[in-house]
Structure 1
Amino acid sequence: MFKPQIRIPATYMRGGTSKGVFFKLDDLPVAAQVPGAERDALLLRVIGSPDPYAKHTDGMGGATSSTSKTVILSKSTKANHDVDYLFGQVAIDKPFIDWSGNCGNLTAAVGAFAISNGLVKSDRIPHNGHCVVRIWQANIGKTIIAHVPVSNGEVQETGDFELDGVTFPAAEVQIEFLNPAADEDGEGGAMFPTGNLIDTLDVPGVGSFPATLINAGIPTIFVNAADIGYSGSELQDDINADSAALARFETIRAYGALKMGLIEDISQAASRAHTPKIAFVAPPKDYQASSGKTVSADSINLLVRALSMGKLHHAMMGTAAVAIGTAAAIPGTLVNQAAGGGDKQTVVFGHPSGTLRVGAEAIQLDGQWQVSKAIMSRSARVLMEGWVRVPG
């Protein structure tokens, strides 16, 4: 006798260039309200993983790193915060959820969900204007501030803000990532875990080349496009259709993770596929984005391409954008050099779907770089709400 399906209150939301299934913690089955195998098994089934067909036909996932995401939210247990935000990146082809990092894109939807679902006290929500939602990002232990537009006491989702990588306009949500670099006692150490703005990364079977290894937003490995045989203007198919290239990037990522102190052995890289990210940078040049529009060199400061969960991202991960803005603000990093060097409090970078502006405030104290916050704009909206069903 097969058990019937169970149904769980859930909301399917777009945040930035990602989509995910959002849950309130206390709506989950009791066994899944705490970290562990029960929670992972439930969320894997919600998304439809592991799927050897890589389609997510029997789940809510979209079979890409941008659309196989889950979010668990609750009233914050942290002083001076409204909501605790826990993010799970669901693997497509194996029974694994990576809890090691944040999703910056879905962060844009967290504030809206929190307001609409009673996680923000009513006296903090203006009738009209912007609600300042104080988010505790539980995966990485960081504070994020979301400025969510409110109209007549409810979240304003519609608007004319356009975000490359998203088809339709929506309301703008400004996000501030406070102190985005890792703490001295946090995982991976300081902002630059090796103490260098540029390291030489030795990768067996690939080569030796400069790399900027940074903990900001999400641990990220930056390399020069030219050093690994690319122009920086590549689109998804240029990379994702080349299995040998993907294998090289994963090898570079693994050795970068080892050098950053995120893993102790190369074999451990496979168990934290979400972090670190790997990205390659280049000076500005004209290129045609995936939408067909031309991005001119004079409209951007640099080119950046980044991989997520083993594939070139169709636009840019929000957390990687924080890393880009932070690295660009610090003279001497590969990102800053690709952007022309010097003082860069704000940069516009070209990605496969178009462009994105990100800013960061960086200062040097006692020879150490510190970043107080990184800022970018995203948009978000509810796609569907109700119940998600999974076999009991």
Structure 2
Amino acid sequence: MEIYIVGGAVRDRLLNLPVKDRDWVVVGATPEQMLAEGYRPVGKDFPVFLHPDTHEEYALARTERKVGKGYHGFTFHTSPEVTLEEDLARRDLTVNAIAEASDGSLIDPYDGQADLKAGMLRHVGEAFVEDPVRILRLARFAARFDFAVAPETMTLMRRMVDEGEADALVAERVWQELAKGLMESKPSRMLLVLRECGALARILPEVDALFGVPQRADYHPEIDCGDHTLRVLDYAASQGQPLTVRFAALGHDLGKARTPRDILPRHIGHEIRGIEPLSELCRRLRVPSDCRDLAHITLVHHTKVHQAFELRPATVLKLFKECDALRRPDRFRLMLDACLADARGRLHFEEAPYPQKAYLESLLAAAAQVDAGAVAAACDDKSSIPAAIDAARTDAIVNAREYWQRDN
């Protein structure tokens, strides 16, 4: 029995990055031997065991064979005769196909170390085409490491897309990889890689449709709607924003792809036009409700937030109510973070002031301080309570606005 560390743990150590999880491969062992050593079985499709002390995963060396479409279309073979090189051959990328022995020596049959030094993502072999999830994984690694994609690997991915492999991806796996990619340091790289190989049009057609759509150059020097979305997303990432904000950044301008051609490059009414494509995207990928809901209010209201200083107090209160900001102030603040990313996700505006965020936060705090119970108790006519509370909150917003104007 020989045991090796494989995959991401070896890769990240060679890149001088923190190693979060370690994966182990066991060569020359049977399931019975593993059980005798005290390992606990957890694998369903192939033998994986938990170490009796560390509880890390140890997988028996295996080979795999494609028997059908999609992620589940594989059969696996494990036996003591499967070699380490055969196990590494089934892996996706050369940088993930390096193993480390117990003495620290490296086994690197596919020159993964050379690709690490070159900053290159390259497939191990033709077996790459058998799993469409690998397209998403590669794009995610491009976002994490900002590596280039080997030309032959890009050609292979285009072929996979053309042959319909990307269409076999299940929603859960697409969202899982997309969410991970959005949380990387440069998520725009993921989208650009997916677009270059043609997968973005299959996986996120609503986002792909933004590329090539022009905008007003005075508001958006970057001109292209797709380019703007990438900039907004990367700005949100640079600020360490959570997944909800990054997904809102991704979807905030989907309506621009549906702007009537005769009013371009203006995009009047794009907020409402974006509701349908955002809803379809979220439905298709089964996007979690927290991401879906923040993306929705950001899409619908981000223009109002940008125009905050032009809004009347009653309109500000309407904005708060439509965003449920009085009950969910933390979510409203996240929307403001997404709006800030939208404002600064423009060429030459990366450090532009954005006082709208602090301004609306101060008005919301003032409105929230109104004692709705006391207002209601003072109303003889119960039917007048909602209007009375709105009036009190509007007055609070008026006063807060005056304080803001005086102090700023």
Q: TM-score range by the shorter chain?
A: under 0.3
TM-score (ref. length: structure 1): 0.25
**Higher Rg:** 2
- TM-score with structure 2 length normalisation? 0.25
Q: Would you tell me which structure has more strand in proportion to its own residues?
A: 1
